């Protein structure tokens, strides 16, 4: 089940995104998600662990049919107040999604794996319900900010004490075990901790910079390849009754009979 955000956690989480200094980082993360997922207006997407809707708003702005699911009723309440009827909301867990196979074009896990009990099962479920692409956004284990958060958690209780940090290579390894050699692409943003300026957006938007594996937020997009299950079928065949000589023998009917010993002249 993992960590379920209570009322206090949900309130602090929502307040964090409302602060101006955090909006720049949130915008970079959303841009990375949309750029890698590359959805088309009208397609459906499932936001797994949608929280208060920080990752849902840019999806709605792209014109997508968005469904959100989260185990915290407090998170869902805030999201419902902010987005109203624009989103279909469900309460549930990433490891046990209440949807049929291939129900959505895409699925997103936006800082969700950090707080689930079984990340492997959560990924498996995301791959099951999506049919085109899955975006996995997570807090990078090897980022300077991530290291600082873990050190701070030693001395001060924070929500990050309940989080599991991953690296790009760990997520890719899980994807390969589940899906085999499917196309996988990764990027990172928020490379430079500290105060943000407008010119930083151009640097952070560079694909070359995003290939550095030390950004605070990492994104992986998995392109799903259809897999077909086959089974042998018995072929029922009833041979026709053949009358007369075989075709091969009939083809030799014009040939003269060979002379046997009885025809040998004396």
Residue 261 has pLDDT above 90, yes or no: no
In angstroms, the Cα distances linking 127 to 39, 100, 122, 160, 183 are 16, 11, 9, 26, 13
The residues near 86 (Cβ < 8 Å, ≥ 6 apart) are: 60, 66
pLDDT-derived band at 251 (thresholds 50, 70, 90) equals very low
pLDDT of residue 173: 96
Residue 258 has pLDDT above 50, yes or no: no
Domain ranges in the chain?
Answer: 7-223
Q: Which residue has the higher pLDDT, 61 or 230?
A: 61
Residue 264 has pLDDT above 60, yes or no: no
pLDDT digit string (tens) for 9-42?
A: 788 877 777 777 677 788 889 999 999 999 999 9
User: What does the alpha-carbon distance between residue 1 and residue 20 come to, in Å, rounded to a whole number?
Assistant: 32
Residue 45 has pLDDT above 50, yes or no: yes
Residue 152 has pLDDT above 80, yes or no: no
pLDDT of residue 168: 94
Of 26-35, 41-50, 227-236, give the lowest mean pLDDT range: 227-236
Surface-to-core class of residue 232, CB atoms within 10 Å of its CB (0-12 exposed, 13-18 middle, 19+ buried): exposed
pLDDT of residue 82: 86
The answer to whether the beta carbons of residues 149 and 158 sit under 8 Å apart is yes
Average pLDDT of the residues in 201-225: 83
Of 107-111, 118-122, 187-191, give the lowest mean pLDDT range: 187-191
Of 102-116, 151-165, 190-204, 216-230, give the lowest mean pLDDT range: 190-204
Which 3 state secondary structure label does DSSP give 226?
coil
pLDDT of residue 210: 78
Place of tokens 């997570």: 138
The residues near 10 (Cβ < 8 Å, ≥ 6 apart) are: 51, 52, 72, 74, 75, 77, 78
pLDDT digit string (tens) for 49-105?
A: 999 988 999 999 999 999 999 999 999 999 999 887 899 999 999 999 999 999 999
Quote the strand ranges of the chain, DSSP E: 44-48, 65-70, 88-91, 104-110, 130-139, 184-189, 217-223
Q: Could you give the percent of the chain with pLDDT greater than 70?
A: 74
Residue 262 has pLDDT above 60, yes or no: no
Residue 256 has pLDDT above 90, yes or no: no
Average pLDDT of the residues in 234-243: 66
What CATH class does 7-223 carry?
A: alpha beta
User: What does the alpha-carbon distance between residue 146 and residue 165 come to, in Å, rounded to a whole number?
Assistant: 8
């Amino acid at each position: 089940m993992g960590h379920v955000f209570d009322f206090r956690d949900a309130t602090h989480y929502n307040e964090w995104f409302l602060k101006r200094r955090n909006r720049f980082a949130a915008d970079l993360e959303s841009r990375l998600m949309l750029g890698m997922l590359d959805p088309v207006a009208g397609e459906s997407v499932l936001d797994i662990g949608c929280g208060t809707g920080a990752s849902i708003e840019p999806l709605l702005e792209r014109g997508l049919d968005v469904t959100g699911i989260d185990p915290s009723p407090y998170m869902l309440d805030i999201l419902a107040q902010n987005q109203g009827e624009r989103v279909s909301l469900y309460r549930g867990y990433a490891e046990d999604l209440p949807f049929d196979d291939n129900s959505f074009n895409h699925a997103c896990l936006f800082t969700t794996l950090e707080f689930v009990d079984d990340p492997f099962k959560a990924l498996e479920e995301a791959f099951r319900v999506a049919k085109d692409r899955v975006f996995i956004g997570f807090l990078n284990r090897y980022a300077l900010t991530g290291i600082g958060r873990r050190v701070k958690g030693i001395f001060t209780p924070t929500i990050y004490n309940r989080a599991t940090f991953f690296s790009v290579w760990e997520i890719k390894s899980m994807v390969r075990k589940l899906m085999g050699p499917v196309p996988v692409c990764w990027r990172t943003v928020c490379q430079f901790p500290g105060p943000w300026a407008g010119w930083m957006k151009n640097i952070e938007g560079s694909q070359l910079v995003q290939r550095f594996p030390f950004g605070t937020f990492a994104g992986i997009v998995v392109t799903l390849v259809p897999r077909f299950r086959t089974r042998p079928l018995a072929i029922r065949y009833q041979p026709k009754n053949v009358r007369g000589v075989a075709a091969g023998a009939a083809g030799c009917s014009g040939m003269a009979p060979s002379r046997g010993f009885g025809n040998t002249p004396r």
